[in-house]
A and B are shown apart, each in its own frame.
Chain A
Amino acid sequence: DTGVSQDPRHKITKRGQNVTFRCDPISEHNRLYWYRQTLGQGPEFLTYFQNEAQLEKSRLLSDRFSAERPKGSFSTLEIQRTEQGDSAMYLCASSLTGGDTEAFFGQGTRLTVV
């Protein structure tokens, strides 16, 4: 499969726990994005990487969220001390260098905080 893959597909966690999600982009894509989507809304930008460099992080993103892309390939998104408001679909996307190129999305990780 040469598409964007995300793991896990579903995660249920108790409030206060930490969770980590993984994204494997399309192999030749330099750019990797994380988005969050809640029911009935459009994807909301969280952060993006150009190779291993994190170039932008949303001002809406609390300090409990951190993302890495250590070798410029896969990326992880960690949420510490989860809250019920963190419940959402977390989408990863990748593209070739340049914002005006098609972004390919993964299937997403659905997080439920109970």
Chain B
Amino acid sequence: GENVEQHPSTLSVQEGDSAVIKCTYSDSASNYFPWYKQELGKRPQLIIDIRSNVGEKKDQRIAVTLNKTAKHFSLHITETQPEDSAVYFCAVVSAAGNKLTFGGGTRVLVKP
């Protein structure tokens, strides 16, 4: 089955700095790569996603890049703010699996 590795597990940044989270996956047939944000005690919510026919996608302060050859994708958050503090999960959907396989999560702390 699909295996998703996420790094780092924790990330502390100063407000205004950038944060980068990286994920690798194992199934080369994977075709959909969403990122979820989960605040303490709340449900995971989609913040951005990318499909396999696209290399990069940006939405305001967040962006995702995908390298299909290397089977990795990354989340970039620029100009971080305290409200960006949360746990972020990458996920992968393979063409065959039709389900989300999640990474282990990255706890991001933005220090004011």
Contacts and interface: CB of A to CB of B under 8 A. Distances in A.
A35 B38 CA distance: 14
Interface stretch (B55-63, B75-83, B96-104): B96-104
Interface stretch (A14-22, A73-81, A104-112): A104-112
Contact of B104 (A42, A48, A98, A105): A42
B43 A100 contact: no
Contacts, number: 59
Interface in A42-59: 42-45, 48, 55-56
A40 interface: yes
Contacts of A42: 4, 6, 89, 91, 102-105
* Of listed B51, B95, B100, residue having the most chain A CB within 10 A: B100
A41 interface: yes
Given A99-B32, A99-B93, A43 B51 contact: no
A58 to B, nearest CB: 9
A111 B109 CA distance: 27
B99 A100 contact: no
Contacts of A45: 99-101
A-B pairs, top 6 by smallest CB distance, nearest first, are A42-B102, A100-B32, A99-B98, A99-B93, A105-B43, A105-B44
